[in-house]
Structure 1
Amino acid sequence: MSNLRQRTQGSTAQPPSTRDKGHEPRLKHGILMQILRFLLLATWFNGCCVIIVATQLVGAPLYFISKNYYYAYMAMTKQCFGILITTITQWGAPTLVRVSGDESVKGQLSLTSDGRLRTMFPDRLVFMANHLVYTDWAYLWWVTYTAGMHGHIYIILKESLKYIPLLGQGMLFYGFIFMARKWERDQPRLQHRLEKLKSRHSGPLSGKNSLDPMWLLIFPEGTNLSANTRKVSDRYGEKVGIPPNRHLLLPRSTGLFFCLQQLKGTIDYVYDCTIGYEGPPKGVYPDRYFTLRSTYAQGRPPKSVNMYWRRFALSDIPLENKEEFEQWLLARWREKDDLLEEFYDTGRFPTSLASSINVEGGSEDQKQEAANGYIETTIRLGHWTEIGQLFIVVTAVGMLLRLVLCS
């Protein structure tokens, strides 16, 4: 991937208006079934969100008693949301995931005895991804679940999301970082959160070198790919003299550069995930196909979610000069664009993991795919009893109140 192809203005994808309407997917469920599915899934999701926020409020006073225990408690509630995201996808939008990668992630991906993905990435890292559709973050949160890190994910996201009822309050407790896209406002709040994420202390979550586990997720493009965001990205590229990508927006380097500078010495690697969705034909924006409504209410998730993983040592990333870092990041995005070009042409990302995936079990098809360098699995829980974690605290508080009131 080091020899990047030359691009010109004419190499970009055609706008959605030119797409072949024969590729439009058929509805899987009729309108009545869509309504029923929506009501059932929405009731489950919103009910669990109420339970999670109530659990957070129960533990909020810990902040004034012991911040170490407070952050450990909130990590537990974050695990609950990771479980919720996994269950609602498992039940409402069963999804095949195909994972591959380059030489840098050899030995870090395996297939469990029951055919699930296990990732063995470090407990502290920054990971970045391209942003094709709104639900990218849900699939990446599931990846943290496969590593047991679903209570330690931190996401950098746009400020408007913190005003969503219930979800916004929950994300504030999770320590997510909200950005207004105005650097004079964003820098102080980003620095404040990063100081907490790199502080050393002893507590119930302290790991290596007294640093808490942390997977910090950032989408350098800033927003998902669509017709409107593509126009904005292309105008920006034309202004600064950067040719557009074929399948991606141009990345913005300021936030990621600042994060890596601040976290230097507390992380060793940046992990990169290139995501591709099977279904839309080449040149069509995936957000036209995959929305919350189509995925969950209509039961039309992607035919497969494809992920190509690689990692970069922080010591090899130019962090002393912002212009050099911008060129480094742009080169990575050119490589990701080439990966997506191959994905749209062949239906798969390449892989360098052949014969390197540890296979504990799974079906014969899964074992064969693993021998070829791919892990094929579905998004699901390890065991249904994990759902009980969502209700433990609220149930315990309810029982205690009943004992007090009845005594």
Structure 2
Amino acid sequence: MSAATPPTERRVSARIGAISESATLAVDAKAKALKAAGRPVIGFGAGEPDFPTPDYIVDAAVEACKNPKYHRYTPAGGLPELKAAIAAKTLRDSGYEVDASQVLVTNGGKQAIYEAFAAILDPGDEVIVPAPYWTTYPESIRLAGGVPVEVVADETTGYRVSVAQLEAARTEKTKVVLFVSPSNPTGAVYSEAETEAIGRWAVEHGLWVLTDEIYEHLVYGGASAVSLPSVMPELRDKCIVVNGVAKTYAMTGWRVGWIIGPKDVVKAATNLQSHATSNVSNVAQIAALAAVSGNLDAVAEMGRAFDRRRQTIVRMLNEIDGVLCPTPEGAFYVYPSVKALLGKEIRGKRPQTSVELAALILDEAEVAVVPGEAFGTPGYLRLSYALGDDDLVEGVSRLQKLLAEAKD
């Protein structure tokens, strides 16, 4: 008599199995793999400055490596001196006065975002997420038990959502609204008046706001990124700011971010981190201390290069029939519409989606871009211009040549 066949066992939990791979990192990994195999791929996928971390920051890390004090565990919430420096930097750059006890140092911005949502969301709580959105936001919300509710803006509004759109999406289950300026993936920057209006709407309805300020210093053409809790002080008791050193100081690999928020929420998030990862690498924290305590000369230099590349990529993309590329005011991305190209024949294929078009571009032009489906809005492509000027021109020239072949 044979043994009964056991029921099918779920090998991966439903919660984790539902998470999709980061589309931007996947595109970047594929581009690097093809380059390693000898193909001359140019990658516009990763949101990563192509500059080295400034020397004075690296030197501080080297010295920290030699200090036995940093070879041990330190407080889970961050080195006291770094938390104090982050508070001082926030006042200097944003006009927002906070205490060091309101700061939690995290392993990069992604951990900060997840821990912030985990600290304030209960199962079923809704979070309004303006789209196009960075791929990690909805996944972090779902992991924390929340429900992302998308509100879509397009190129006609500069990819900025209105208070009317937010209000239309609000329900009795809405607890949080996500606010990101400058934006990844679009480079959109909200004006001070728009920022204040969204903050006032949140206050009127008793909502929390999570605001991601990671690109705060990367703005161009007279635009300025204002900090929401600075222009709307009434919101501070229900506002969480996420930030980090990755973009401003070309420190993506150092993995240092932070949360700023009400003390009870920061304490709860710190408790979570104490069990998840304990403290951030002490060497990386000392590097971050040097970064936030120093001046902004390095980011100003990077900003000039990004601005030059921004103007070049927008001009070249808009020279392609079927591509409409608004001029971004911040971050280091463009988000052109390619809807007019979908369904057209290009080298014997008719891509029907921006996913299919991105795959065709990689195969035929050896250029890596991220399709808009990754950001909640099909029909677009995201290109990062955080790469060298020569590669940028060569990459977009390849796109021009390939897409010029599109025909009905």
Scaled by the length of structure 1, the TM-score of the pair is 0.27
Name the structure, 1 or 2, with higher relative contact order (CA <8 Å, separation 6+): 1
